[in-house]
């Protein structure tokens, strides 16, 4: 059933961005060979070269575009895609009819082919094979899969997965990945045909080699669209289907599977050993279990070893202690693994042990960024649920002392506020911690302190002003403080604005001009509150005279009435 267009001009602008969209408007007259199919739209656009464009609509109304221009090859929705999309929108009313015509032509071709005799069809195929070597190779592979020569199938499958013809610089770039993916997909078809022809055992062996070959090549392919990943998944599925048909030796299959899943080079094929339960049976599963345990004990920090060991234990219902042993062999420096263990213990009904592991995680954290935030939340939530607010405060206090930050200060304030101890005892101690690292320096202009941020967050502006005066504030903090006190202490705020205007007078560029203008507007607001607008007018006139050669600055000042 044909349908109208599902995308709009707004979609084109969103996908391309304003600049590419505007450029696309200039290519409407450069489009030729426009064909509108039921889901795919193709065209040729003449630019600095001739480019092939393909737009695809999905059932949910989404639109994607592909172009072989340099910008499009990087995965962008380029100006040529925009031009084709706009050209199609320009004839939107006729799109259903065009799609209906495309469907009719397809139906006509199918009917014509069906009416040909076997001899006529063979002649037609041979004619195409003579003109298309790629088609010839693909059909040769299918013929081999249906025949008796497995050696030819193996050779052709590995040839289809060979990236060298597509790797111009030793790497399959995005522009070439589509062509490589279409070729590699033929290997999946051939292996399925091999199984269907009654040679599943051969398909198992060839599929193993194919999986190994693609796994080794995958890191050298730009698979941004996931086409090669789909081929890898197809190969894995084909191998599993062949194993289910051929029923290879369970122990030997287990050995191959374990070696495959533990080899990082095979990540792309995403084989899950536990999908093979029915193939392995009890003997194969036992062999896999032995090999996985040995691999994990030899390399307990290996990601794959740890992952599959955990899966194995859960599949065996081995109990939480065995899982804890696996996780404890490789504890993350931020305490995240302690949290994983705590959750496993809690799920097993061992809440006290879970809390011990979680609190141990807080103590043993060695990450410069501090403990995992989920671990901290877990500990605090359990204390809250147990009605121990003082313990929550103790946790938050310890984190502030260990790694002072505004976030740690805010968390402590929230916890102590809930416990009713913030103003009376916790805040003074917390500020003492921040004062100890503030390092007052009267010449300080950069590198503000957490102390000033905390006092601003508390809205303790008097204390924040004093800390800034003592040298504990940078430019950002001084200006934030000035903005906060401007209505009540305009003279103090004015001194801050004027101080930071001065260095900007020596700078150029849009950013400097914008910051200078913002500070002048703030200074003018202070003068208005003080009733000294004439003084500001004199200051501004002198500044404009000094900066008059910066014509762009003058235009910005004029725009803002300065």
In tens, the pLDDT along 275-334 reads: 999 999 999 999 998 998 898 889 888 888 888 888 888 877 667 888 888 888 888 899
Answer whether residue 534 is part of any domain. Answer: yes
Answer whether residue 393 is part of any domain. Answer: no
Residue 499 has pLDDT above 80, yes or no: yes
Residue 495 has pLDDT above 90, yes or no: yes
Rounded mean pLDDT of the chain?
Answer: 87
Answer whether residue 364 is part of any domain. Answer: no
Locate tokens 């575009």: which residue?
65
Domain boundary pick from 97, 115, 133: 115
Residue 103's domain comprises: 9-115
Q: Can you give the pLDDT at residue 35?
A: 87
Does the pTM of the predicted model rise above 0.85? no
Percentage of the residues of the chain whose pLDDT score is greater than 70 = 94
Domain boundary pick from 70, 85, 115: 115
Answer whether residue 139 is part of any domain. Answer: no
**pLDDT tier, 2 (very low <50, low <70, confident <90, very high otherwise):** low
Answer whether residue 346 is part of any domain. Answer: no
Render pLDDT for 258-281 as a digit per residue (tens, 0 to 9): 999 998 877 777 788 889 999 999
Q: Can you give the pLDDT at residue 440?
A: 58
Q: Can you give the pLDDT at residue 389?
A: 94
Overall average pLDDT of the 7-31 stretch: 90
**pLDDT tier, 134 (very low <50, low <70, confident <90, very high otherwise):** low
Please choose, from the candidates 556, 461, 476, the residue with its C-alpha nearest in 3D space to the C-alpha of residue 518. 556
Tell me the CB-side half-sphere exposure of residue 526, using CA atoms within 13 A: 23
CA pair distance 483, 467, nearest whole angstrom:
16
E-strand stretches of 47-188: 50-57, 63-67
Answer whether residue 491 is part of any domain. Answer: yes
- Measure the N-to-C terminal CA separation of the chain; round to a whole number of Å: 64
Domain boundary pick from 83, 115, 147: 115
Answer whether residue 84 is part of any domain. Answer: yes
Which tokens is 181 given? Answer: 């993916």
Residue 137 has pLDDT above 70, yes or no: no
Tell me the CB-side half-sphere exposure of residue 444, using CA atoms within 13 A: 21
Q: Can you give the pLDDT at residue 444?
A: 45
**pLDDT tier, 138 (very low <50, low <70, confident <90, very high otherwise):** low
Residue 53 has pLDDT above 70, yes or no: yes
**pLDDT tier, 443 (very low <50, low <70, confident <90, very high otherwise):** very low
Rank 52-61, 194-203, 261-270, 375-384 by mean pLDDT and report only the highest. 375-384
Answer whether residue 179 is part of any domain. Answer: no
Number of domains, the chain: 2
Locate tokens 């803002």: which residue?
560
Locate tokens 């095979």: which residue?
266
Q: How many CB atoms lie within 10 A of CB 410?
A: 16
């Amino acid at each position: 059933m044909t349908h109208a267009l599902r995308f709009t001009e707004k979609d084109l602008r969103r996908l391309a961005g304003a600049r590419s969209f505007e450029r696309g408007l200039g290519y409407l007259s450069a489009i030729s060979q426009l064909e509108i199919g039921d889901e795919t739209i193709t065209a040729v656009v003449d630019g600095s070269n001739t480019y092939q464009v393909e737009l695809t609509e999905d059932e949910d109304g989404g639109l994607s575009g592909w172009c072989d221009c340099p910008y499009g090859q990087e995965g962008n929705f380029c100006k040529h895609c925009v031009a084709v999309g706009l050209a199609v929108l320009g004839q939107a009313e006729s799109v259903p009819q065009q799609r209906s015509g495309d469907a009719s032509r397809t139906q006509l071709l199918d009917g014509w082919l069906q009416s040909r005799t076997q001899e006529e069809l063979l002649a037609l195929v041979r004619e195409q094979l003579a003109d298309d070597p790629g088609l010839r190779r693909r059909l040769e592979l299918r013929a081999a899969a249906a025949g008796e020569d497995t050696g030819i199938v193996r050779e052709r499958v590995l040839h289809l997965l060979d990236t060298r013809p597509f790797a111009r610089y030793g790497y399959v770039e995005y522009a070439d990945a589509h062509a490589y993916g279409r070729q590699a997909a033929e290997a999946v078809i051939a292996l399925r045909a091999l199984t269907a022809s009654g040679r599943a055992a051969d398909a198992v062996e060839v599929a193993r080699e194919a999986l190994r070959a693609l796994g080794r090549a995958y890191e050298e392919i730009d698979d941004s669209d996931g086409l090669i990943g789909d081929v890898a998944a197809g190969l894995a599925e084909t191998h599993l289907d062949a194993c289910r048909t051929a029923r290879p030796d369970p122990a030997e299959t287990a050995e191959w599977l374990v070696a495959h899943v533990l080899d990082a080079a095979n990540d792309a094929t995403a084989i899950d050993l536990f999908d093979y339960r029915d193939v392995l049976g009890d003997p194969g599963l036992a062999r896999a279990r032995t090999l996985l345990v040995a691999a994990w004990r030899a390399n307990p920090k290996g990601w794959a070893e740890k992952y599959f060991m955990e899966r194995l234990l859960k599949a065996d219902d081995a109990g939480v202690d065995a899982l804890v042993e696996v996780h404890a062999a490789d504890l993350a420096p931020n305490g995240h693994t302690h949290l994983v263990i705590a959750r496993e213990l809690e799920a097993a009904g061992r809440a006290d042990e879970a809390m011990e592991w979680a609190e141990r995680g807080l103590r043993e954290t060695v990450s410069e960024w501090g403990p995992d935030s989920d671990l901290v939340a877990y500990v605090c939530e359990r204390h809250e649920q147990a009605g121990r607010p003082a313990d929550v405060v103790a946790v938050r206090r310890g984190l502030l002392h260990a790694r002072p930050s505004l976030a740690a200060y805010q968390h402590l304030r929230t916890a102590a506020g809930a416990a009713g101890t913030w103003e009376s005892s916790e805040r003074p101690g917390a500020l003492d911690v921040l004062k100890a690292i503030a390092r007052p320096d009267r010449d300080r202009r950069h590198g503000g302190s957490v102390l000033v941020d905390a006092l601003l967050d508390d809205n303790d502006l008097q204390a924040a002003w004093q800390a800034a005066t003592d040298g504990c504030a940078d430019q950002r903090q001084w200006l934030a403080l000035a903005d906060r006190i401007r209505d009540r202490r305009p003279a103090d705020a004015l001194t801050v604005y004027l101080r930071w205007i001065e260095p900007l007078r020596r700078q150029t560029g849009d950013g400097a001009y914008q910051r200078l203008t913002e500070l002048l507007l703030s200074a003018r607001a202070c003068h208005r509150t003080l009733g000294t607008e004439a003084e500001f007018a004199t200051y501004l006139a002198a500044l404009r005279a000094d900066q008059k050669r910066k014509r762009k600055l003058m235009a910005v000042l004029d725009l803002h009435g300065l």
